[in-house]
Amino acid sequence: MGLIKNYLFMSRKCPYSLELLKKIKSEHPNLLNNGTLLFINVDNKKQTIPEFIKKVPSLFYSENEKRILLVGRRQIDNWLNNRINQI
């Protein structure tokens, strides 16, 4: 079984997206290093963005064979804190 990928859709135009990216890179680099969290920049016109991504930041992840979409600062912060506590 491969690693479960968690996709964080962000924009360089969104202040919280940038703040979240800095926080993860500086405080929790293991989320990036183990390959389970991938950043997708919605500003990149070459990147295909799913139609259901309407706002940034948005986190799309799998848990117990279910796909879950979190939108907004509070929901993503809660997921991040729970994920860090599991590591």
Q: What is the 3-state secondary structure (H, E, C) of the chain?
A: CCCCCEEEEECCCCHHHHHHHHHHHHHCCHHHHCCCEEEEECCCCCCCCCCCCCCCCEEEEEECCEEEEEECHHHHHHHHHHHHHHC
Q: Rounded to an integer, what distance in angstroms lies between the CA atom of residue 10 and that of residue 3?
A: 21
How high does pLDDT run on average in the chain?
85
Checking if the pLDDT of 4 tops 60, the result is no
pLDDT for residue 26: 85
Task: Report domain extents, the chain.
Answer: 6-43+55-86
- Tell me what pLDDT residue 55 has: 94
pLDDT over 70 (residue 79): yes
The pLDDT tens digits of the residues spanning 6-36 come to 899 999 999 999 998 888 888 778 777 777 7
- CATH code for 6-43+55-86? 3.40.30.10
